[in-house]
């Protein structure tokens, strides 16, 4: 069994658990997963092996001319297409926090390349540092991790860290596995609130397909429900960041 400490109110950590679940399912198809207290549990597998396999799988662009938002492919042993941010019919484009000059593949490869360092540092999702690419230059994350997002919103800070080009800590495991997790595990849009989403930390051990339904509030099941915003973090209102989530009292709570 794999057990991971997780902050349920950090949507990045939550969906990173879902990403690990997705990859574990592809290595060990009978795996179930669920949340219990402050932990996420997978019924099968070994964390070090899973992360090392994820770190060495080839991550490529499927449309090289689309540098900002090309679909990607995570190669063997996972063989997974990543393109959830292209699903406009389902409204998932509003989940994408990066934009413009942020190069999606470069970010993904940099976060993936730092996974082994995260394994060496203790709790997987709590290992943070300034991430650099093969050229030695800093690579900004996608801004899935709410710790990064909460410290990047100009409304809260009074200035834009992006405009001042400040260096800040990123959490590579959270960023990379969230990129993977959102492919299957889509949060439910909150009623009449643009860019606000809800998810459930399901507490029943489910296989991956049922777990995705339970997480997205499509399957009645025990577990706390949380709400977060993909909030604007720059004055230009293009780049966004996942905000910390708050518990809601019911699936239909406004």
pLDDT digits (tens, 9 = 90+) for 29-44: 999 999 999 999 999 9
234 lies in some domain: yes
Strand pairing report for 240-242 and 223-232 = antiparallel
DSSP 18-76: HHHHHHHHHHSTT--EEEETTEEEESS--HHHHHHHHHHS-EEESSTT-TTT--EEE-T
- What is the separation, in whole angstroms, between the first and last Cα of the chain? 37
Is 254 among the domain residues? no
Q: Is residue 253 part of a domain?
A: no
What average pLDDT does this structure show over 218-242? 88
Q: 146: domain range? A: 2-248
Residue 102 resides in a domain: yes
Number of domains forming the structure of the chain: 1
At 92, the pLDDT band (50, 70, 90 cuts) reads: low
pLDDT tens across 18-72, in order?
Answer: 999 999 999 999 999 999 999 999 999 999 999 999 999 999 999 999 888 899 9
In a domain, 138, yes or no: yes
Residue 159 has pLDDT above 60, yes or no: no
Does residue 226 have a pLDDT over 50?
yes
């Amino acid at each position: 069994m794999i057990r991971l400490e997780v902050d349920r109110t950090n949507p990045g950590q939550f969906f990173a658990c879902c990403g690990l679940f997705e990859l574990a399912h592809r290595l060990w198809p009978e795996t179930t997963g669920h949340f219990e207290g402050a932990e996420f549990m997978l019924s099968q597998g070994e964390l070090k092996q899973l992360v090392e396999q994820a770190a060495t799988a080839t991550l490529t662009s499927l449309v090289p001319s689309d540098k900002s938002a090309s679909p990607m492919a995570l190669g063997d042993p996972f063989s997974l297409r990543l393109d959830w941010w292209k699903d406009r019919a389902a409204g998932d484009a509003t989940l994408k926090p990066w934009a413009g000059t942020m190069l999606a593949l470069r970010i993904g490869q940099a976060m993936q390349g730092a996974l082994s360092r995260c394994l060496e540092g203790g709790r997987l999702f709590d290992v943070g540092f300034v991430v650099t690419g093969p050229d030695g230059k800093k690579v900004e994350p996608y801004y899935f991790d709410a710790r990064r997002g909460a410290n990047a919103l100009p409304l809260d800070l009074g200035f834009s860290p992006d405009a001042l080009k400040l260096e800040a800590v990123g959490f590579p495991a959270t960023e990379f596995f969230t990129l993977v997790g959102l492919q299957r595990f889509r949060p439910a849009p909150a009623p009449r609130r643009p860019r606000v989403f809800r998810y459930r930390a399901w507490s029943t051990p489910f296989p991956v397909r049922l777990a995705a339904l339970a997480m997205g509030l499509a399957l009645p099941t025990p577990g706390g429900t949380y709400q977060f915003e993909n909030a604007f973090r720059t004055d230009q209102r293009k780049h966004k960041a996942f905000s910390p989530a708050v518990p809601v009292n019911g699936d239909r709570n406004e």
